Amino acid sequence: MIVVKVGGGTSLNIDAVVADIVALRAAGTEVLLVHGGAQTTNQVAEALGHPPQFVTSESGHVSRRTDRRTLEIFEMVYCGQLNKMWVEKLQRQGVNAVGLSGLDGRVFEGERKDTLRIKVDGRRMVLRDDWTGTVEKVNTHLLRLLIDGGYFPVLTPPGASTTGDAINVDGDRASAMVAGALQAAPAPPAAADEQVLRSVRCPQCAGPLSAREGRRVLVCGHCGVRVAVRENGGFSRWYFPARVDRLEAMAAAAVWLKEHPGIARRARESSLAEARLVYAPIWEHKALIAGWEFGHRLRTRYELVGDEKSERLDLKLEREGVEAPCLQERRLYEAATDLAALGATRPRITGRELMLPLLAGELDPSATVLDAEGTADQVAEAGRKAALLPMSGAESPDSHVFALRESTALLYYPLWLLRYQDGNRSYRIVINGRDGIVNSAKVPVDNRARVTVLVMQVLVLASLAALLLWLGSSGEAAPAPTMVGAVIVSVLAILLVWRFRLQREVEYHEPFSS
């Protein structure tokens, strides 16, 4: 764990700090950011007519006086402007940052100083309207939840007093307390996002090895040693453990058949004939990309025009130059088998899910592992080409990016293939083996609603044609135009019936899959 503490000076190279954080995270290092912002706070306080005041304690220590108005400005700059600026820059580089102040969730907690003894012109005085304190406790549980969940905490003062008041705390001490607390905190127990391997043990102490969500390193639950998984043939093999068993998959399919709209009634009452678990291979290519992109793009700008009596906002397009630094991880996923032949679609993968190394003895022996098509070299070439595409949105960009590090892996995803009978026809449903959601299905269609709509349309047109004929024959209207109208309406009704086709079956695919 590395805790990065940055100040708020105007000379700080923020983009360089962000680049370092991205590189550390890509190398597998846990990182956390604590930032300050004193200089910006001073400027904002001056602009708001409440300039900063500094006092000297009896021991000679100079500090900012934090009255209630100063604390409000402090929160506005630290928690609002600067914290969200860091979050935005990290998000642009693919880091899922979460901005928190020490007040949120009592991340930083300490006693508020009721009084502050100071010296003014040699005289001792006591300040009572002061909202400062010292960090004495860190909420490591909340920070661990975020870090282990794949999020990147961006922390900033103020902190929380024991009574829940916001207090100005020293950022350097807060970051030191965070570093010490996280290093000393025991590893959290195994939870739903962690699984112990059955087939291998720790090479150092023979303890249990486990994998955690979002990490591709095995950790011993006894001695804490980390074990890397060796590549074979230029790529590693991992699998997503199935969390849905046969009965749960069958129950999910039965519920979907009963509740999904548009399915024929006989199919809703049919019984499942077969259920088997397969692991479908999916290629993954990861590349850490670095470089710059240059070019131009159009930017919209709102401008207030007119005089005081007729002011309005005018939208203008401006052409601006683009010099975008790039340091981020990009991923490409490709199915390594013919999923269409299985009647399935490729599930959505984020790369943060729990995965285990594909080792002998880990999978359910009744499951089928499908053979992978293609080679790691072909996937690496396609992934590299996709990763080097410009991302800045500039017109005709001049891109100078390259891959710092690349890796290829073969991931095996669990899918339940279910078959059911509808008369003498066989249909299939594919259930996601991780969350029990229907991945895809082919089902017979209930045409009753479509037939009802067709009948209503034909009846309306027939009624209209009869009305036109009556008007023409009764002399209420000119006979020629009404007869022509009746013929046109009749032709439309005939076309509706002629074009209508009963649907036998329809395919369903899980949203956001591909």
Q: How many domains does the chain divide into? A: 4
236 is a domain residue: no
Residue 259 per-residue DSSP state: H
pLDDT, averaged per 10 consecutive residues of the chain (514 residues), comes to 81 83 81 89 88 74 78 91 92 91 93 76 74 89 86 93 90 87 53 67 76 72 73 83 90 85 76 87 91 82 73 78 81 92 88 83 86 91 89 76 88 92 80 91 80 88 85 73 84 87 78 60
| Cis peptide upstream of residue 158 (ω within 30 degrees of 0) | yes
Give 277-323 pLDDT, tens digit per residue: 999 999 999 998 888 888 888 877 777 777 777 777 777 788 888 88
303 is a domain residue: yes
Per-residue confidence (pLDDT) for residue 76, from 0 to 100: 92
Domain with 500, as residue range(s), is 448-509
Query: Is 476 found in the same domain as 431?
Result: no
Query: Is 463 found in the same domain as 359?
Result: no
Query: Is 417 found in the same domain as 476?
Result: no
470 is a domain residue: yes
Rounded to two decimals, the pTM is 0.56
Exposure string of 208-247, with b = 16+ CB inside 10 Å and e = fewer, is bbbbbbbbbebbbbeeeeebebeeeeebbbbbbbbebebe
Per-residue confidence (pLDDT) for residue 371, from 0 to 100: 93
For the domain that residue 66 is a member of, what is the CATH number?
3.40.1160.10
Identify the domain boundary among 414, 444, 474: 444
Per-residue confidence (pLDDT) for residue 78, from 0 to 100: 93
Q: How far apart are alpha carbons 268 and 422 in whole angstroms?
A: 9
Per-residue confidence (pLDDT) for residue 445, from 0 to 100: 79
Query: Is 206 found in the same domain as 296?
Result: no
Structure tokens at 389: 């595409």
Query: Is 314 found in the same domain as 377?
Result: yes
316 is a domain residue: yes
Give 15-65 pLDDT, tens digit per residue: 888 888 888 887 777 889 999 888 888 888 888 888 888 777 766 666 677
Query: Is 221 found in the same domain as 97?
Result: no
Query: Is 180 found in the same domain as 198?
Result: no
Query: Is 171 found in the same domain as 28?
Result: yes
239 is a domain residue: no
Query: Is 423 found in the same domain as 381?
Result: yes
Query: Is 100 found in the same domain as 35?
Result: yes
Query: Is 192 found in the same domain as 269?
Result: no
Sheet holding 218-220, edge to edge: 194-201, 208-212, 218-220, 226-227
Query: Is 424 found in the same domain as 378?
Result: yes
241 is a domain residue: no
380 is a domain residue: yes
Q: Using CA atoms of 76, 82, 85, 89 in order, give the dihedral in degrees to the nearest 10.
A: -160
